C-alpha cells in the first residue's frame, strides 16, 4: 500500500557536533542547518535575519541603465505608459506593483493584460495595436517578452518602445527593445538568476529610485506583492527571494496593504499568514481571474481600497475560484481516465477542456503519477497546453529536443507552456516519450521522501515548533522539514471529504496526543485498520479554531 520510498538522512556526527558547538544550538537544529550548508555564525545570521541591506545592486543587471533612462524620459515628458503583464499571479502582482509605483509620478498610465484564450501567452499583436490607437509611447512588459522578438519589432515600426522585465529563459535572439531586463540573459552578469517576474520589475523601480535619489522607503510597501509572486511562481526561496518572502510576509501580517487584508479576510485565514497560505489560498484566488475570466480583475483587487467596490471585486474572485474548482475536478477525472499508465510520460488531450485549467491538471497528474505530464486542448487550428515535470527531469531541455514539432513553447525547467499543430501530435508524443525514457532510466522512478528527523511523539512541543519556524518561509529551495515517527501503537483513524478521500486521526504517545490530516490518503484506511502499529511521515503546523491554538500533523505518507 505504500507508494513512497522513505529515505532517512545520514548526518556526519563530527559535522553536527561542530555546528552545534560553533553556533550553540541543539543537535536537531544543527542537523537542519547542515542540510542548508549553514555552518558558521555569519551564514546563520544571514539566513535567520534576511536583511534588506543585502539586496543586490539593480544596476548589475544588463540593460538597467537604459531602462531607467527611458522610464525617466517617459515620466518627465508625460508620455503615455502602458504596463503589460502575464495573466498569472506573478504577472498580476507585477502589474499592480508597477502601476502603484508609477502612479506616484504620473497619471498618464494604464495597464493591459492579454486574454488567455484570444491572445495567449507573451506580448500580443492585439496589445500593440491597442497601444498604437491609444497613443502609448512606452510599454513596460512584465513576466513575459524575452522571446517576443517579432512583436517588439512590430511595435518599433509603430514608434512604440519596450522595456522588458522577464525571468524566463531566452531564445536564440534577444528582442530589439530599449531595454531587456532578465537575469537569465546569457550576457547578463547579475549574480542571482532566480528572480520572479515581479522581482525583476522591482529591480527596475529600485534602480529608478537610486537614480533619482528617492528613499527606499518609497518602495518597501511592495514587499507583500513580491512575497506573493515568489511563493506562487515557485522560484527558489533563497538569497534575494528569501528576503522578499520574509519581509513580504511581515508586511502582509501587519495588514498594511488594505486590499490584501481584505483578501485574507475573505479566505477566512485566521492564523498568521504563512507561505503555504499564499500557495494554496491566496495564489489560486488571484489566478482564477486569469484562468476563467480576465486577469484585470485580479489586478483591480490588488489596487482597490476599502470602498464598496472592493468587496464586489473580491466577491467576483471568490465566485471564479469556486467555478475553477468544479471545472478542475471534472477535467482531472476525464484526464485520469484518458492517460496511458504504461508510459513514462503522460500526454492527454481533449478539445473540450478549458485552456485556463490545463496547467493545474498537469500538476495534479504529476502529483499522482510522478511522471512528466502534458495536458492539451484545442485552440483554433492548434493544440495548446501546459507541461509540468516530475522531480529531477528538466522539461525545458526535453522540449528543446522536440522543438521541430512545436509552434511555440517556453517556461522553466519544471513548468512550461506549448502549442503545436494537430497533425504533429503523434510525432511529438513519440519523441517526448523517447526523451523522457532516456532521462528516467537515469533516475529512480519510485517516489521518494527524504526524512530530515526521526521523532517520538513526546518530542513534539511548542518550543520545538517555534524553532522549526525560524527556518521559514518555506517553499521551493527551502522546504519545510519532514519528520517521521515509527511504531505507533495507539491511534484512531477515520476518513473524511468527498469519496472519503482524506485520512484523519489521532496518535498518542506516552504523555501527548496529536491530531493529523492526510490529504488524499483515504485509500489506505482499510489497510491501516488491520494494522497494530503504523509509521507516519509528516510536517507540523499550528491550527486555530475559535481562538484556541494547537499543533497538528500534516501527513505526507503513512504505512
- In a 13 Å sphere around the CA of 56, the CA atoms on its Cβ side amount to 22
In a domain, 29, yes or no: no
Instruction: Say if residue 303 is in the same domain as residue 362.
Output: no
In a domain, 370, yes or no: yes
DSSP letters, 100-164, are HHHTTT-S-EEEE---TTTT-SS--HHHHHHHHHTT--EEEEES--TT-HHHHHHHHHTT-EEEE
Q: Which of 95, 64, 66, 67 is nearest to 82 (CA)?
A: 95
In a domain, 33, yes or no: no
pLDDT (0 to 100) of residue 271: 83
| Confidence bin at 1 (pLDDT 50/70/90) | very low
pLDDT (0 to 100) of residue 305: 64
* pLDDT tens sequence across 193-206: 999 999 999 999 99
pLDDT (0 to 100) of residue 309: 66
Which residues, in sequence order, are CB contacts of 69 under 8 Å at separation 6+?
none
Contact 372, 436 (CB under 8 A): yes
pLDDT (0 to 100) of residue 311: 79
Mean pLDDT is lowest, of 11-15, 157-161, 544-548, for 544-548
Question: Of 445, 476, 502, at which residue does a domain stop?
Answer: 445
In this structure, what CATH number is given to the domain that contains residue 399? 3.10.310.30
Q: What is the largest CA-CA distance in the chain?
A: 77
Instruction: Say if residue 392 is in the same domain as residue 475.
Output: no
pLDDT (0 to 100) of residue 256: 66
In a domain, 201, yes or no: yes
Which residues, in sequence order, are CB contacts of 28 under 8 Å at separation 6+?
453, 464
DSSP letters, 482-526, are -EEEEEE-SEEEEEESGGG-EEEEEEE-SS-EEEEEETT-GGGHH
State how far the Cα of 505 lies from the Cα of 383, in Å rounded to an integer: 45
* pLDDT tens sequence across 431-443: 999 999 998 766 6
Instruction: Say if residue 417 is in the same domain as residue 485.
Output: no
Alpha-carbon dihedral sign for residues 353, 354, 355, 360: negative
CA 71 to chain CA centroid, Å, is 29
What average pLDDT does this structure show over 495-499?
88
Mapping DSSP onto H, E and C, the string for 320-367 reads: HHHHHHHHHHHHHHHHHHHCCCCCCCEEEECCCCCCCCHHHHHHHHHH
Question: Of 422, 445, 468, at which residue does a domain stop?
Answer: 445
In a domain, 376, yes or no: yes
Q: Is it the case that residue 116 has pLDDT exceeding 90?
A: no
| Collapsed DSSP state (helix, strand, coil) of residue 402 | coil
pLDDT (0 to 100) of residue 443: 60
DSSP letters, 451-469, are ESEE--GGG--HHHHHHHH
In this structure, what CATH number is given to the domain that contains residue 82? 3.90.1640.30
Enclosing domain of residue 291: 54-316
* pLDDT tens sequence across 141-197: 999 999 999 999 999 999 999 999 999 989 889 999 999 999 999 999 999 999 999
Instruction: Say if residue 472 is in the same domain as residue 402.
Output: no
pLDDT (0 to 100) of residue 173: 94
C-alpha cell at 152: 517588439
pLDDT above 70 coverage of the chain, percent: 97
As for how many domains the chain has, the answer is 3
Q: Is it the case that residue 422 has pLDDT exceeding 60?
A: yes
State how far the Cα of 104 lies from the Cα of 166, in Å rounded to an integer: 23
pLDDT (0 to 100) of residue 113: 95
Instruction: Say if residue 463 is in the same domain as residue 504.
Output: yes
Instruction: Say if residue 430 is in the same domain as residue 457.
Output: no
pLDDT (0 to 100) of residue 2: 46
In a domain, 39, yes or no: no
Instruction: From residue 372, give the alpha-carbon distance in Å to each of 119, 144, 346, 368.
Output: 26, 24, 6, 11
Mapping DSSP onto H, E and C, the string for 307-319 reads: CHHHHHHHHHHHH
Strand duo 447-451 + 4-8: pairing: parallel
In this structure, what CATH number is given to the domain that contains residue 504? 2.40.50.460
Instruction: Say if residue 441 is in the same domain as residue 452.
Output: no
Instruction: Say if residue 305 is in the same domain as residue 162.
Output: yes
State how far the Cα of 524 lies from the Cα of 4, in Å rounded to an integer: 13
pLDDT (0 to 100) of residue 475: 92
pLDDT (0 to 100) of residue 259: 84
Instruction: Say if residue 430 is in the same domain as residue 464.
Output: no
* pLDDT tens sequence across 381-391: 899 999 999 77
DSSP bridge partners of 554:
517, 539
Instruction: Say if residue 144 is in the same domain as residue 220.
Output: yes
Q: Is it the case that residue 533 has pLDDT exceeding 90?
A: yes
Instruction: Say if residue 74 is in the same domain as residue 112.
Output: yes
Question: Of 396, 412, 445, at which residue does a domain stop?
Answer: 445
Buried b (16+ CB within 10 A) or exposed e, 117-136: eebbbbbbeebbeebeeeeb
Instruction: Say if residue 346 is in the same domain as residue 286.
Output: no
Contact 458, 510 (CB under 8 A): yes
| Confidence bin at 262 (pLDDT 50/70/90) | confident
In a domain, 289, yes or no: yes
Strand duo 4-8 + 109-112: pairing: unpaired
Q: What average pLDDT does the structure give for the chain?
A: 93
In a domain, 385, yes or no: yes
Amino acid at each position: 500500500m505504500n507508494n513512497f520510498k522513505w529515505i532517512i538522512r545520514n548526518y556526519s556526527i563530527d559535522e553536527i557536533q561542530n555546528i552545534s558547538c560553533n553556533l550553540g544550538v541543539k543537535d536537531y537544529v544543527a542537523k537542519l542547518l547542515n542540510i542548508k550548508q549553514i555552518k558558521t555564525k555569519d551564514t546563520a545570521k544571514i539566513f535567520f535575519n534576511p536583511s534588506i541591506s543585502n539586496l543586490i545592486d539593480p544596476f548589475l543587471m544588463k540593460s538597467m541603465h537604459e531602462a531607467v533612462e527611458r522610464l525617466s524620459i517617459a515620466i518627465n515628458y508625460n508620455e503615455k505608459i502602458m504596463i503589460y503583464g502575464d495573466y498569472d499571479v506573478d504577472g498580476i502582482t507585477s502589474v499592480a506593483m508597477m502601476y502603484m509605483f508609477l502612479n506616484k509620478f504620473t497619471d498618464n498610465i494604464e495597464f493591459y493584460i492579454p486574454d488567455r484564450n484570444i491572445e495567449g501567452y507573451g506580448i500580443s499583436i492585439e496589445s500593440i495595436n491597442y497601444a498604437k490607437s491609444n497613443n502609448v509611447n512606452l510599454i513596460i512588459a512584465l513576466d513575459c517578452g524575452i522571446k517576443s522578438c517579432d512583436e517588439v519589432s512590430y511595435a518599433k515600426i509603430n514608434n512604440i518602445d519596450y522595456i522588458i522585465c522577464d525571468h524566463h529563459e531566452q531564445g536564440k535572439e534577444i528582442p530589439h527593445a530599449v531595454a531587456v531586463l532578465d537575469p537569465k540573459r546569457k550576457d547578463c552578469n547579475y549574480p542571482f538568476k532566480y528572480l520572479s517576474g515581479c522581482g525583476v520589475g522591482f529591480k527596475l523601480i529600485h534602480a529608478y529610485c537610486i537614480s533619482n535619489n528617492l528613499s527606499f522607503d518609497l518602495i518597501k510597501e511592495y514587499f507583500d506583492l513580491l512575497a506573493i509572486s515568489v511563493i506562487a511562481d515557485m522560484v527558489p526561496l533563497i538569497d534575494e527571494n528569501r528576503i522578499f518572502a520574509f519581509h513580504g510576509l511581515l508586511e502582509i501580517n501587519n495588514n498594511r496593504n488594505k486590499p490584501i487584508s481584505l483578501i485574507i479576510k475573505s479566505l477566512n485565514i485566521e492564523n498568521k499568514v504563512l507561505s503555504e497560505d499564499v500557495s494554496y489560498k491566496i495564489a489560486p484566488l488571484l489566478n482564477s481571474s486569469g484562468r476563467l475570466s480576465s486577469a484585470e480583475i485580479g489586478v483591480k483587487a490588488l489596487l482597490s481600497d476599502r470602498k464598496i467596490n472592493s468587496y464586489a471585486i473580491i466577491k467576483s474572485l471568490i465566485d471564479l475560484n469556486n467555478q475553477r474548482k468544479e471545472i478542475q475536478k471534472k477535467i482531472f477525472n476525464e484526464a485520469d481516465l484518458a492517460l496511458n499508465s504504461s508510459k513514462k510520460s503522460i500526454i492527454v488531450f481533449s478539445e473540450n477542456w478549458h485552456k485556463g485549467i490545463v496547467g493545474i491538471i498537469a500538476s495534479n497528474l504529476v502529483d499522482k503519477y510522478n511522471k512528466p505530464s502534458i495536458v492539451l486542448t484545442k485552440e483554433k487550428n492548434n493544440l495548446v497546453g501546459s507541461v509540468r515535470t516530475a522531480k529531477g527531469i528538466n522539461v525545458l531541455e526535453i522540449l528543446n529536443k522536440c522543438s521541430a514539432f512545436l509552434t511555440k513553447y517556453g517556461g522553466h525547467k519544471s513548468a512550461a507552456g506549448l502549442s503545436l499543430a494537430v497533425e504533429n501530435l503523434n510525432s511529438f508524443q513519440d519523441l517526448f516519450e523517447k526523451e523522457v525514457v532516456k532521462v528516467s532510466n537515469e533516475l529512480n522512478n519510485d517516489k521518494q521522501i527524504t526524512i530530515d528527523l526521526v521523532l517520538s511523539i513526546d518530542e513534539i512541543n511548542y518550543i520545538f515548533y517555534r524553532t522549526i519556524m525560524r527556518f521559514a518561509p518555506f517553499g521551493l529551495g527551502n522546504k519545510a522539514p519532514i519528520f517521521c515517527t515509527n511504531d505507533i501503537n495507539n491511534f484512531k483513524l477515520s476518513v473524511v471529504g468527498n469519496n472519503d478521500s482524506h485520512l484523519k486521526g489521532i496518535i498518542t504517545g506516552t504523555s501527548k496526543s496529536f491530531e493529523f490530516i492526510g490529504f488524499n490518503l483515504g485509500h489506505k484506511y482499510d489497510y491501516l485498520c488491520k494494522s497494530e502499529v503504523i509509521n507516519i511521515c509528516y510536517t507540523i503546523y499550528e491550527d486555530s479554531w475559535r481562538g484556541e491554538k494547537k499543533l497538528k500533523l500534516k501527513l505526507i505518507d503513512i504505512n
